[in-house]
Amino acid sequence: MSPSLNAQLSKNELLKLADPTLAGTLAETLADPAADHICEDDEQFIKFHGIYQQDDRDLRKTGKKYMFMIRARLPAGVVPAAQYIAFDKLATAYGNDTLRITSRQSLQWHGVVKSGLRALVKGLNDALITTIAACGDVNRNVMAPPTPSQGVLSDLVIADARRVSDALIPETRAYHEIWVNGQALNLSTEEKQAFEDPLYGKQYLPRKFKTAFAIPPLNDTDVYSNCLGFVAIADPADPTRLLGYNVLAGGGQGMSHGNAATYPRVADDLGFVTPDKVVDVAKAVLTAYRDSGDRTNRKHARLKYVLAERGVEWFRAEVEKRAGFSLEPTRPVELTRQGDLFGWHKQSDGRWFLGLYVETGRIHDTAKYRLKSALRQVAELYAPEYRLTPTQNLLMANVSSEHKYAITALLAEHGIQVERQARSLRLNSMACVSLPTCGLALAESERFFPGLLDRLEGALGQLGLQEEDLIIRMTGCPNGCARPYMAEIGFVGRAPNKYNILLGGGGDLQRLNRDYRSSVKGEDLVTELLPVLTRWKNERIGHERFGDFVARVIWPEQDAAKALSA
């Protein structure tokens, strides 16, 4: 690499080039009992290990209280009971006694101080779970439909998701040496700089890379919002037979306020592949991005900008060249809806699964609602398989008929209802963590969202719309971790207690929403929404969804108003 080109690289790129093993000085800092945090450069390396350094922003006036968030790599969100029990114990021993389900079917541990950091990560590895590549400029946790009611097809898709996940894991030795063996990577500076990952190379990816699978007609993984998507195509004559996948590329959620060059985007169709070629295509898409993404500006570095600027035809040709075969034409398919199933449902094998609503994805105990204790006891007594959903909820799968009623009774003892767990408004909702731990947060999200939903439910009740199915999502900043730009109603933090309101996403999660109001105070959000909700009630056609009504009526009115003012 020439010195002139090297000088144009972003700081993160220079860090990766200087130490492609991703070891940094992490082992030395972990071994230092006097240190309560890691250095700025190591903050970037530690992300590749599935860890973020944070501090309690509620306490900043009295000095930074450093802590860490750890994220597991859980392909398809499948967690056997024994592993869940280990996760629960680690949260109590080293975290803040909660578990957080993510919008990518993973789990996070919050409030971990440096002295407990290695013990928690090693504990996860002892439970046969890794955190490598749960964050960082690599392929993140691979999503797949969690609902077991689709039987053999679901099992096949989850297996393919795991194959892709395994194929896209970086191979650096630093992770195992630091977190499992508890020692520094025994390489010289020259040896570290000479290391090159077989798939990712020396610099890894320009930014994060997200992959998801979907099984029509359900789009519960927001597959069009991902860098890489696989939409399962079943044989019409035999729904248990998987013919292959339509391949999507170039979706993404993040943007920056006031920067028109950054934007959310839905993925493009590339073509169709048979199941045996899924890993080859995944590697081809990833390496095409690796070699074409912007490494000078991290705000412009996601794969979506490559597709937007170079075009889908160019990218398809690049993928085909790297894969060594041509993609077949995209097969007809229809994704019509999203959403988890709640309550008890029978699986195709005769066993049962239970869908549980988890408010903002936070598994914890309160005086009247002891979800964390209940889930641990169910795992210990009945050993179901837990499946985390992309909407931050949880399924208990593979439950026998004889255990179904016992589990229902145990949950009731802990204040958890199985039927009528919440209204649709809450069941479809999602919020990011935001304050007080996320360093990017501009406004509240998880702590503010439940109260906002209370007020929205009240407003909808007054309109007689309380049972309507609405997709509502909130984030404390524009990075889009809860995928607010796909929602029918999205709230995106802009400043303390100020949010942008976005409206009009599709119920099938294939259409982005649009800005409706900017910088609205938190207490005024429902007031701003009430007029358009009233119009939806009075002017909708049949059972028209709110997002579709906004796209049909409100958007043209906005466009006309802009044209008049131009």
Question: Are both 201 and 313 inside the same structural domain?
Answer: yes
Residue at which a domain ends, from 276, 291, 323? 323
In a domain, 339, yes or no: no
Question: Are both 188 and 302 inside the same structural domain?
Answer: yes
In a domain, 387, yes or no: no
In a domain, 349, yes or no: no
CATH of the domain at 165: 3.30.413.10
- Number of Cβ atoms within 10 Å of the Cβ of 61: 6
Cis status of the peptide bond prior to 33, with omega within 30 of 0:
no
Q: What is the DSSP string of 468-491?
A: ----EEEESSTT-TT-GGGSSEEE
Nearest to 249 by CA among 334, 335, 316, 330: 316
Question: Are both 285 and 170 inside the same structural domain?
Answer: yes
User: How many domains does the chain fold into?
Assistant: 2
Q: What is the pLDDT of residue 1?
A: 40
What residues contact 529, with CB distance under 8 A and at least 6 apart?
A: 456, 459, 489, 501
Q: Would strands 385-388 and 78-79 be described as parallel, antiparallel, or unpaired?
A: antiparallel
Residue at which a domain ends, from 323, 341, 366? 323
In a domain, 355, yes or no: no
Question: Are both 431 and 549 inside the same structural domain?
Answer: yes
Residues 496-548: tens digit of each pLDDT: 999 999 999 999 999 999 999 999 999 999 999 999 999 999 999 999 999 99
In a domain, 77, yes or no: no
In a domain, 497, yes or no: yes
pLDDT surpasses 90 at 103: yes
Residues assigned a catalytic role: 71, 140, 208, 210, 432, 438, 477, 481
Structure tokens at 544: 């028209």
> What is the rounded distance in angstroms from the CA atom of residue 248 to the CA atom of residue 439?
31
Where residue 5 falls among pLDDT bands split at 50, 70, 90? very low
Question: Are both 189 and 300 inside the same structural domain?
Answer: yes
Question: Are both 307 and 440 inside the same structural domain?
Answer: no
Question: Are both 317 and 430 inside the same structural domain?
Answer: no
Residues 183-217: tens digit of each pLDDT: 999 999 999 999 999 999 999 999 999 999 999 99
Question: Are both 138 and 279 inside the same structural domain?
Answer: yes
Residue at which a domain ends, from 323, 348, 376? 323
Question: Are both 440 and 318 inside the same structural domain?
Answer: no
> What is the rounded distance in angstroms from the CA atom of residue 290 to the CA atom of residue 302?
10
Question: Are both 296 and 433 inside the same structural domain?
Answer: no
Question: Are both 313 and 175 inside the same structural domain?
Answer: yes
In a domain, 487, yes or no: yes
**Structural domain containing residue 488:** 426-565
- Number of Cβ atoms within 10 Å of the Cβ of 436: 17
Full-model pTM = 0.96
Give, for 68, the enclosing helix (H) or strand (E): strand 66-71
Write out the E strands in 318-443.
Answer: 343-346, 352-356, 362-363, 385-388, 394-399, 430-431
pLDDT surpasses 90 at 91: yes
Task: Output helix, strand, coil percentages for the chain, rounded to the nearest 5.
Answer: 40, 20, 40
Question: Are both 430 and 555 inside the same structural domain?
Answer: yes
> What is the rounded distance in angstroms from the CA atom of residue 150 to the CA atom of residue 148?
5
Structure tokens at 54: 């944070």
pLDDT surpasses 90 at 6: no
In a domain, 352, yes or no: no
Calculate the CA dihedral of residues 527, 529, 533, 539 and round it to 10 degrees: 110
Residues paired with residue 363 on neighbouring β-strands, in sequence order = 99
Q: What is the DSSP string of 54-66?
A: EE-GGGGGG---E
